[in-house]
Structure 1
Amino acid sequence: MFKKKTIDIIKKLEDRNILYQITNKNKLYKILEKKKINLYCGFDLTADSLHIGHLIPLITLKYFQNLGHKPIILLGGATSLIGDPSFKLQERKIIPINTINKWFKKISLQLQNFLDFNCGINSAVIINNYEWFKKMDILFFLNKIGRYFYINQMLNKDFIKKRMTNEKNIQGISFTEFSYNLLQSYDFAYLNKNFDVILQIGGSDQWGHIISGIDLIKKIYQKKVFGITTNLVIKNDGTKFGKTENQTIWLDEKKTSPYDFFQFWLNTPDSTVFNFLNMFTNYEKKIIDDIKKKNNKIKTDSAQYILAKYITQITHGKKLLLISQKITSLLFFQKIDNLSQNDFNFLLKNINSINLEKKDYTLQDILVLSKLAPSRTQAFTIIKSNAVYINSKNISDPLFICTNNYKKFNHFTLLRKGKKTFCLIFWK
């Protein structure tokens, strides 16, 4: 993923527009110059997969690991039972512990794609904070942790204030969520004491929690530790990519197919793509500048295509990247009359498809059966808006019937809604 070489890691993160905030930059720089450190990043288990919003922290950890530092991933089995209130309008749903344990195993496997877990002394490690919180009693929590947190200071934290002043959330914030900040802070303190961790990495929405952890370690152990936050990946509507938001792009191929994952990056706006190349890839600035200067209009040489190839390969591997590229080529770069029967069989295995009996269905019915429309009424509206295509031909008649002329090799019909949503019909 990244070549190992001696670099100023802080400057590297700044130049790549990854670094958002950092505590005591000069002091941390001097430590990184002299020795290798242990650092960590935490992810709560609030879904069975990570998503693209987690990529930047993972890439950051990989930069550190390639310089000989040891990355620790903390998966929050305990904190997931509570839920991080940061920038959430409502309290999260309670997740059973057995579900969290299943998600721990799945996400642990996903992480193998991004960090090296078998490279010697700086091999990555995955830890579950449920291991220490399950042994902790309430008196220890209140006496050893709670005594260092002051309500007036906590009320001034942005994520607390937003929940308490949000008009849509009449109840404000529960004590359970209010205590999340204490638990994450103790995570940092526990890792500092038991694993000599001196640096926490997190998204920019984690700044308040990181600062609390730094303060707690200073009070308990009189030690100086550090925090770095990274820029968040923002959707086109200005909101961050989160697990509970709409349009989430998951790293799990069963939740977001490698083809859809590839298409997401392929459709990156021109205004964003070069920043994404800088943030998500290890291409040097000169290479990115060269791509920008060429401004190549050939689809497979475009900045978006280069970005999509890179991220899909590190996330899903070479094999699934090649499949995604082939699907993209067949659907977007070739004329349907030039597709062979083998091409259609390939698409049948790799894109959304339905089997239909060889009888007369209206286009309105087909849209509902293919789940490209939730009802006949909406199917009618979509068709009349000229958004439906059969074998690349626009069809505006809801009562249109697919005749044999529209069945390639007597079995295949390619249905498209809008510019990018496909379904292949196989006529049995």
Structure 2
Amino acid sequence: MTDIIDELQWRGLVAQTTDIDALRKSLADGPITLYCGFDPTAGSLHVGHLTQILTLARFQQAGHRPIALVGGGTGLIGDPKPSAERQMNSVDTVEGWVGNLAGQLSRFLRFAPEGEHAAPTDAILANNREWLGEINAIELLRDVGKHFSINQMLARETVRSRLDGEGMSYTEFSYVLLQSYDYVQLYRRFGCTLQTGGSDQWGNITAGLDLVRRMDGNRPHGQAHALTTNLLTKADGTKFGKTETGTVWLDPELTSPYAFYQFWFNADDRDVVRYLKVFSFLGESEIADLERQTQERPQARAAQRALAEELTTLVHGEEECRKAVEASLALFGRADLSELDGRTLDAALAEVPRTEHDGSVADLPSIADLFAQCGLTPSKSAARRAIQEGGAYVNNVKVTDVEARVGSEDVLQERFVVLRKGKRNIGGVVLTG
């Protein structure tokens, strides 16, 4: 085992703990079991979840046993948002999402191979519907609810903000009871003595910690602990995990591997070293070297490339990462566009200005018109000037004739034409007919 607390602190991950010295002693005394919960409020996890998933993975690498708890029960309720009531989803929908999340989590944690005996550090996949579906209303109120003070529940930041606005249903108000009961059940079933989560979950986590103490007296598994990680913010003030096209999901059907790669590759120089610490498994000297390269030659984007390749490989596999790298190089003239498959081309052009045409190649207007239609130039006349000045390309081949048109030989995978203005401004044409 390594000193995981030192590791997390160096990576800037530790936001709050109940008693860091006691936690450090528990970790040093021997392997512990810890958990983090993931509610299925959508059909996929997103990059915002990676902080918690990879924190569990770091504990596992340090010799401890992680539990990934998928909230099949709490997901039917939903953790209260600061702004408004969550939409209720059907039981069938939530059950389907539970399966999706379980499959995604298995990419990051080491579980026992099917049919084999679990090793002490093999991860556990749990679903809280197993116990929340069994407890009845009387038991919940008598055995759990009696340990919660209404005054403390009303003082919670999320509750206060909602009560100052449109109010909150009793359903969401009671969410903290259910999440706290999770900790009790995991403590009893698996000897789990640590819950981790984002710093916005501190109130829920400490409520569970207190419930373990009240219901079980921290026996027989010893003192329970809590640890939260810092929430990520971006240097430019925009929300982490969002792009112009929306949330960056782990599901390749929702966010393509190419778009996923580009999200990390386009990280701000001011953010990239922090992202490397939080999301990569690179060591201190490797990250320090990438930080130096970023300061000396920011245009090379060495840190961003290392980050994008590691995470795309981790989430989508080596082959999809290779395709994303090749697509990125090909779009900017440093690899052969004809080598890209249709799915990768479609994903790449979805991230840039593009125009769609329902017809054949013969129906397409001039290349100058296409540049204007997809937004690479503000007008056809500006596109003609770009061609005259030698800054217009079709499939990375320079266009020299202002009246030129796209031919059938220019269409990639029978559907796509890649346009480029200058070195870095990419656009595309997609034939939909």
Q: Distance in 1 between matches of 2:189 and 2:181?
A: 12
Counterpart position of 1:252 = 251
Cα distance, 1:361 vs structure 2: 4.3
* Stretches of structure 1 lacking an aligned partner (at least 5 in a row): 1-5, 373-378, 396-401
Q: TM-score, normalised by structure 2?
A: 0.82
Counterpart position of 2:94 = 100
| Residue-by-residue CA offset, 1:221-259 (whole Å, 9 max, x unaligned) | 11131111112233543435489x972111111111110
1:146 aligns with 2:140: no
Counterpart position of 1:359 = 362
| Residue-by-residue CA offset, 1:254-293 (whole Å, 9 max, x unaligned) | 1111100000001100101111111111222122112222
Counterpart position of 1:312 = 312
Contact 1:348 1:424 in 2 (8 A): no
| Residue-by-residue CA offset, 1:34-66 (whole Å, 9 max, x unaligned) | 111111000000111101111111111111111
Cα distance, 1:324 vs structure 2: 0.4
Aligned to 2:111, which of 109, 113, 117?
117
| Residue-by-residue CA offset, 1:96-147 (whole Å, 9 max, x unaligned) | 1101111111111111210001262221111111111112111111111111
Contact 2:371 2:377 in 1 (8 A): no
Q: Distance in 2 between matches of 1:344 and 1:116?
A: 32
Cα distance, 1:342 vs structure 2: 4.1
How many pairs does the alignment contain?
401
Q: Distance in 1 between matches of 2:343 and 2:391?
A: 18
1:392–1:349 distance in 2 versus 1, CA, 3 Å: farther
Q: Distance in 2 between matches of 1:385 and 1:134?
A: 66
TM-align CA RMSD:
3.5
| Partner SS for 1:239 | coil
| Partner SS for 1:251 | coil
Counterpart position of 1:414 = 418
Indicate the percent of aligned positions where both proteins have the same amino acid. 35
Contact 1:232 1:240 in 2 (8 A): no
1:344–1:76 distance in 2 versus 1, CA, 3 Å: closer
1:207–1:367 distance in 2 versus 1, CA, 3 Å: farther
Q: Distance in 2 between matches of 1:425 and 1:74?
A: 42
Counterpart position of 2:268 = 269
| Partner SS for 1:189 | helix
Q: How do residues 21-100 of structure 1 correspond to structure 2 at under 5 angstroms?
A: 21-86=16-81, 88-100=82-94
* Stretches of structure 2 lacking an aligned partner (at least 5 in a row): 113-117, 351-355, 395-401
Counterpart position of 1:398 = none
| Partner SS for 2:361 | coil
Contact 2:45 2:101 in 1 (8 A): yes
Q: Distance in 1 between matches of 2:161 and 2:346?
A: 47
Query: Mean Cα displacement is larger for which, 354-363 or 177-186?
Result: 354-363
Q: Distance in 2 between matches of 1:291 and 1:227?
A: 33
| Partner SS for 1:311 | helix
Contact 1:108 1:126 in 2 (8 A): yes
Cα distance, 1:328 vs structure 2: 0.3
1:320–1:394 distance in 2 versus 1, CA, 3 Å: closer
Counterpart position of 1:376 = none
Q: Distance in 1 between matches of 2:185 and 2:383?
A: 56
Query: Mean Cα displacement is larger for which, 230-239 or 307-316?
Result: 230-239
Q: TM-score, normalised by structure 1?
A: 0.83
